[in-house]
Amino acid sequence: AKTLAGRRVLLTAGPTFEPIDPVRGITNLSSGKMGYALARACRDAGAEVTLISGPTALPRPAEVHFIAAGSALSMHAAVMEAVPHHDVFIAVAAVADYRVANASAEKLKKTPGQAPTLTLTENPDILASVAALPSAPFCVGFAAESHNLLAHAQAKRERKRVPLLVANLAQHAMGADDNEIVLLDDHGQHPLPRMDKTGAARAIVAHLAGMLPIR
Ligand code: C5P
């Protein structure tokens, strides 16, 4: 039986791109591989899937609704518009914490001896916004940490109020083809063996499917 049959799943994946000017920006090393693998795993489990993705080099998964997003603000807007039609939200994107407040509408010119100053301002937390909605879908978060993984991940699960949080070590996960993850839920910690992102995605889907309310 398909474990996510009849469920509608919304995911974010990849990095965001925060413009500095029309040709430059601030981004990060997220490849999008984990989010795309999860989108395919949800589809294969029978879900109707919407993937909202920052810029990646990956092929679009077949039979998945695909929405391209650039900045955190545009990803946030796309998620808030799509979320009412979904039962599950999985936030995998590495959303930039800050954007450039003084981005330039014109390409910045180099002026020798006068480096421009970028001012940063906080981006909305997409996962926390969705989890706080009155009729929030079942929310899954990710935590990529470089140190004290489980302590930070547990704190993040409580702060963002998500029933399921997937923790991984950033230096192992970013850009890699495989991943070693720990699932955190109300029952505690569930470490999974190191496996490729397709296998990890299937394992996350299996765990998630078991947590969804019966309809
Ligand atoms: O707080 P931190 O960025 O480490 O939390 C990571 C989790 O929150 C991931 O699930 C990520 O997709 C989500 N997130 C988000 N919007 C942000 C920052 C993080 O949805 N602005």
- The tens digit of pLDDT for each residue in 152-184 reads 999 999 999 899 999 987 777 777 888 889 999
Q: Which of 18, 38, 125, 208 for a ligand 1 pocket mutation test, highest count of atoms within 8 Å of Cβ? A: 125
Identify the band that residue 204 occupies on the pLDDT scale cut at 50, 70 and 90. very high
Q: Comparing C-alpha atoms, which of 6, 47, 16, 1 is closest to residue 201?
A: 47
CA–centroid distance, 144 to ligand 1, in Å, is: 9
Query: Would you say the CB of residue 72 lies under 6 angstroms from ligand 1?
Result: yes
Q: Is residue 203 helix, strand or coil?
A: helix
pLDDT of residue 108: 96
Asked which of 48-62, 117-131, 175-189 is least confident by mean pLDDT, the reply is 175-189
What's the gap in Å between 13 CA and the centre of ligand 1? 11
**Residue 105, token pair as written in the block:** 């509408």
* Distance set, CA 101 to CA 18, 22, 25 (Å): 10, 14, 12
> Is the Cβ atom of 88 under 6 angstroms away from ligand 1?
no
Query: pLDDT at position 65, please?
Result: 98
Q: What is the pLDDT of residues 5-58, one digit of tens each?
A: 999 999 999 999 999 999 999 999 999 999 999 999 999 999 999 999 999 999
Q: So what's the pLDDT on residue 187?
A: 94
pLDDT given for residue 170 in this prediction: 74
- What residue ranges in 37-87 does DSSP mark as E strands? 48-53, 65-68
Domains in the chain and their CATH numbers? Answer: 8-103+114-211 (3.40.50.10300)
Ligand 1 within 6 A of 143 CB?
yes
What percent of the chain is modeled with pLDDT above 70?
100
Residue 178 pLDDT: 82
pTM for the whole structure: 0.96
Would you say residue 1 has pLDDT above 90? no
149 vs 158: CA distance, rounded Å: 14
Q: What is the pLDDT of residue 169?
A: 79
For residue 106, the tally of other CB atoms under 10 A from its CB is: 7
pLDDT band at 188 (very low <50, low <70, confident <90, very high): very high
Question: What average pLDDT does this structure show over 58-77?
Answer: 98
Mean pLDDT of the chain: 95
Question: What does the pLDDT read at residue 180?
Answer: 87
User: Counting atoms of ligand 1 from 1, which one is nearest the CA of 130?
Assistant: 20
- Using the structure block, give the residue that is written with the tokens 């490849």: 31
Q: Who contacts 125 (Cβ-Cβ below 8 Å, separation ≥6)?
A: 95, 160
Q: What is the mean pLDDT of residues 61-77?
A: 98
